[in-house]
Amino acid sequence: MKDFGKKDTDNQENIAQEADNELKADANVADNEKFPEDVADGTIEKLQQELGEQKEKYLRLYAEFDNFKRRSAKERIDLMQTAGKEVITSLLDVLDDCDRAEKQIQDNGQKDAVTEGVQLVFNKLRSVLQAKGLKPMNVKGEDFDPDKEEAITQIPVTDPNLKGKVVDEVVKGYLLNDKIIRFAKVVVGQ
C-alpha cells in the first residue's frame, strides 16, 4: 500500500526547493548584469517621475470618488425627504378645506359630537403631515418677502407700522423639510 501523505509532502518540498533555486539564480543574474551609470540614473529618475504622476492620479481619483460618494449620499437623503412631495402638495387643498370648515364650525359655535369628530380628523391630518416634514408659513404681520410670498393685492393702511407688511393671508404657504412647496398668497399694506 502506498503512503499518499508522504508523497505529497515530498512533492511540496521539491517544489519549494526548485522555487528557491530559481530565486537564487535570478539574483545571481541581476548581480552579474551591470547597467551603465548614465542609463541607470536616467531610468531611475524617469521611473520615479512616473511613480509620482501615478500617485498624484491615484490621489485625485480617490478624492473625486470620495466627493462622488458624499454627493450621492446627500442626493439620496434629499430624494427621501422630498419623495412624498407630490402627494403632500395635492393634500394641501384638502388641508385648506379643513381650515375653512374648522373656521365655520367655530363661527357657528356648535359643540356636538359630529363637530368634535370632525375636529379630531382635521387635527389628525395636520399632525400626520407635520410628521412628514410639512410646516405652515406664518407670514401675517411680517415684512413682505417676495421670495416666500406672492402679493395678490395691496391695500392702503392708516397705521404706518403696517406699510410693507403682510396684512392678510389669503392662501397659506407651506414648507416641506424647510423647502417652500407653496408660496403664501398675501395682501400687503401700502
CATH topology for the 82-189 domain: Nucleotide Exchange Factor Grpe; Chain A, domain 2 (2.30.22)
DSSP 24-89: HHHHHHHHH----HHHHHHHHHHHHHHHHHHHHHHHHHHHHHHHHHHHHHHHHHHHHHTTTHHHHH
Burial class for 74, CB neighbours closer than 10 Å (0-12, 13-18, 19+): exposed
Give me 109's grid cell.
359655535
Give the phi and the psi of residue 160 in degrees, each rounded to 5.
Answer: -65, -20
- Give 142-154 pLDDT, tens digit per residue: 999 999 999 999 9
Structural domain boundaries in the chain: 35-81, 82-189
- Give 42-92 pLDDT, tens digit per residue: 788 899 999 999 999 999 999 999 999 999 999 998 887 777 788 888 888
- Give the C-alpha separation, 86 to 90, whole Å: 6
- Do 100 and 118 touch, CB atoms closer than 8 A? no
User: Alpha-carbon torsion 93, 172, 123, 119, what sign?
Assistant: negative
Q: pTM score, two decimals?
A: 0.55
- Give the C-alpha separation, 134 to 95, whole Å: 11
